[in-house]
Structure 1
Amino acid sequence: MADFIQALDPSKLVLVETVLSFLTSAFHAPVYNLPIFLFGLHVQESSDAIQSLRAFTFIAGGSIIYDIIWMARNHQNWFLRLLTIVIQILKVPTVLAFAAALRRRGGQFTGISFSGNDVGGATVWSMPGGFTSAGREGYQAVDDTADVPTPKHSVPPAPAPQNPQPTPGAYQSV
């Protein structure tokens, strides 16, 4: 089964589903399929879009459930229903092929945790100026301790007056 999934071409699968969704979009059919597959066409062409690839895989997999609900609630003629069922059947190998492509590109579905702000994926952005633990562009990271030399000739601060005169109109403590 794994060899079969590896042999699938995600670009051809999503292209066929896009064409079928386009053909059914003029009639009483699920309106969400065409945008999903257009997004899939865009994602499969990007070699570095791991987050988008993961999002498309989840959305396409979730839309299988929407297809079942949509077909149970709406009535179509037999030809459109057949095309909708074909699209739904093709979604399963598409999701599996995109999941395999995600693993080949270095992405994964494991490690998702919603405790705190940790989503468990790769960092999408970094703070400018190297405010990360790894440091960047020669800047010191925030969590590193600085070796700042103390000046040898420092001037002590001027002593504060013992009994300063209050400014007229200002509050005074008793």
Structure 2
Amino acid sequence: MDVIRQLVQQANLASLLGLHLALSLFGAVASNPTYNIPIFFFGFWAYNYHESSSPLKTFTGILGLSILLDSIWFYLHSGNPQGESGFGFALFFNYISFFVKPLSVYAGIVQLQERGDSFSAGNWSEAPGAFPSGGYQNVRDADSSEFA
């Protein structure tokens, strides 16, 4: 585990995102998982957004889910069902990106920890539009002179 942590620290999340984006663009010469390129663009934005850690948390979760989606896509499409030329070339780059994704998820978790957040899902009170922890929000004080 220490070897993985050292590898992640040497190759930060931004460089891993650049690698993924390049691999996805090369993999786009034939049929490929179309969701990867938007995920990596969102990852660049989330990495550079420092006002909140929510986008980075969302990106890390989506990237983890995309590992499962990639597994399903490879199972369904690895035999080149459409007979495309260049499919093997594209598949090679998609496989490399697939094998680097767990390392990127780990780098996202490490980045969240460095920003002082964890990868917990949070609770309902953190949702947009949720009531504060007291249940109701006081609008004005009933004892003020406005009611006299």
> Common fold, TM-score beyond 0.5?
yes
Shift in Å, 1:102: 1.1
Note if 1:91 corresponds to 2:101: yes
2:144 — aligned with what?
Answer: 148
Structure 1 residues 49, 22: closer, same or farther in 2, change over 3 A?
farther
Residue identity in the other structure for 1:17: H
Gaps spanning 5+ residues in structure 2: where? Answer: 81-86
Instruction: State the shift of 1:126 in Å.
Output: 9.3
Q: 2:43 aligns with which of 40, 43, 47?
A: 40
Higher relative contact order (CA 8 A, sep 6+): 2
Structure 1 length normalisation: TM-score? 0.65
Amino acid corresponding to residue 67 of structure 1 in structure 2? D
Change beyond 3 A, Cα 1:89–1:62 = same
The equivalent residue for 1:64 is: 67
Q: By how many angstroms is 1:125 displaced?
A: 7.4
Name the amino acid aligned to 1:12.
S
1:108 aligns with 2:122: no
Change (3 A) 1:95 1:133: closer
**Percent identical across equivalent pairs?**
24
Query: TM-score, normalized by length of structure 2?
Result: 0.75
- Name structure 1 gaps, 5 residues minimum: 135-140, 152-174
Matches within 5 A, 1:126-165: 142=138, 146-148=142-144
Report deviation, 1:124: 6.0
Aligned residue type for 1:37: F
Residue 67 of structure 1, CA deviation: 0.7
Distance 1:9 1:94 in 2: 9
Distance in 2, matches of 1:16 and 1:26, equals 17
CA drift of 1:133 comes to 7.6
CA RMSD of aligned residues (A): 3.0
